Amino acid sequence: MRRFEHEVASALAADKRLLAGFDFAFGYPTGTAERASGKSDWQALWRAIANDVQDGDDNANNRFEMAARWNRDYFTDGARFWGRPHTVVLDDLAETKPAAPSIQPFAFRMSERHAKGAKSVWQLAYAGSVGSQSLLGIARLSRFLDQHPHRDKIAVWPFETGFSTGFKQPVVLAEIYPSLFTVPLGDGDVKDAAQVRHVAEAFARFDDAGVLGALFTRPINLSDAEVGAALKEEGWILGIGHENLTFAAEGNGVPETTIAPLDYIRDPAEIYRQSFLTIRSEANLDRFPNLMQPLVVRLIHACGMVDLADDIVFSSGAFEAGAMALADGAKIFCDSEMVHHGIIRRLLPANNDVQCLLNDVRVRPLAAWNRNTRSAAQVDLWANQMEGAVIVIGNAPTALFRLLEILDQGAVKPSLILGFPVGFVGAAESKAELAANSRGVPFIAVQGRRGGSAMAAAAVNALAGGLGTND
């Protein structure tokens, strides 16, 4: 910090311009500032962080304790901060990533979604994380700015400058992301040091070519609403959205033209928000319990047909039974690899074991012996492991028929059956049999020919609490 303070003082004294880049987040996902400070404003959030962070010159600090306290006080709907050494035990700060939040603030800022490989600002520990640096760095910068005698000559980009080159302040602070550039490493090079050097050299080349100012302008891939969010609270990473220039930094020359992008929504959180808003406005969800509605929304989202809601059947308490089973660590058995791969593992509440035995070496001979499909044959391999499990069928009607048969034969009962086989032969019939007699097992299914792996996986993700951004 002393080196930085010296560089700023020297630049101001010599009447020179200074760009200071910092490799940590300058902002948090939209909604954070309001929760923590009562104002939707970047500077209010910075000051709230500075007020709570204790950071000594010996690097002793309270970042983990502070994050735990913010999780408890400001994020009662679900923790945002996560990641800590296993030796640091705090009730309100998990060692592993929590479920994706379903409401703002989400897991990632817009700029992080555009920056390849960027980590969430909420992650405080483990490889590549910048969350700790962000808390400590923002606290230091906030105090520096509030106490500086020439504060009017220092600007924080893009909050105080906008996406423009018309600012008058000679000193500009900006968030950078060294991984934006490909950095060649020589013998004995330390990666972090090489990245910093490479970024400084790249910006110097831009300045020599007279195009450095372009990096401060509006990224061409942001909508007006996204620009507003960046300037108000989230901030932006210098260079993101100007990849034509960062490409030039690799020695390819500075391009003269940029191809205008197509106009479409790029922000994943906004895509999900508008999708779910459309579904809720067009689909009739009144007959579904409140807990069940997110699952119905996900099923509709998976197929794009709002009339699907009319064909969804379920037993009383089915959603609760499945959600509780997953929370208790229940196994998940899938009839197809597509279902297996569609289940988002990070959403599962207990690191649940997800199995598809379709390609197990025992299945093909068993199918031949039983004169049935491989999908049905694998169900026999589930039989002794099904107690309390969640059964997910999103492809083969024969698998659902066989499941009902082995239940009739006395097999142990799962906690929930998700019945979404699809097709023209047996799909409607197998689901009709399930709805007519579920053998005492809670179920959720779609009547008729419609179904499929995407719906089946979406149902599991909803049960796991995954109605969010899927970041």
Catalytic residue IDs = 301
Q: How many residues does the chain have?
A: 471
Rounded to 5°, the CA angle 157-159-161 comes to 60
Contacts (Cβ under 8 Å, ≥6 apart) of 234: 27, 28, 29, 30, 109, 110, 111
On the 0-12 / 13-18 / 19+ scale of CB atoms within 10 A, 412 is middle
Q: Which is nearest to 22 in space by CA: 137, 140, 147, 170?
A: 137
> Are the C-beta atoms of 217 and 164 separated by less than 8 Å?
yes
Residues forming a β-bridge with 393: 419
What are the tokens at 393?
Answer: 């069928």
Contacts (Cβ under 8 Å, ≥6 apart) of 436: none
DSSP string over 116-162: TTPPPTTB-SSTT--HHHHHHHHHHHHHHHHH-TTGGGEEETTTTT-
What are the tokens at 334?
Answer: 């899938």
Check the CA dihedral 223-224-225-230 and report its sign.
Answer: positive
- Helix-, strand-, coil-residue percentages of the chain, each rounded to 5: 45, 10, 45
CA distance 432 to 311: 11
Which residue type occupies 7? E
SS3 state of residue 166: coil
> Are the C-beta atoms of 468 and 77 separated by less than 8 Å?
no
CA distance 426 to 230: 52
Contacts (Cβ under 8 Å, ≥6 apart) of 161: 155, 167, 169, 172, 216
CA distance 20 to 14: 16
**Phi, psi of 444, deg, nearest 5:** -135, 135
Q: What is the CA radius of gyration of the chain?
A: 27
What are the tokens at 17?
Answer: 């311009």
Buried b (16+ CB within 10 A) or exposed e, 340-370: bebbbeebbbeebebbbbbeeeebeebbeee
C-alpha distances out from residue 426 to 338, 393, 407, 449, Å:
20, 13, 19, 8
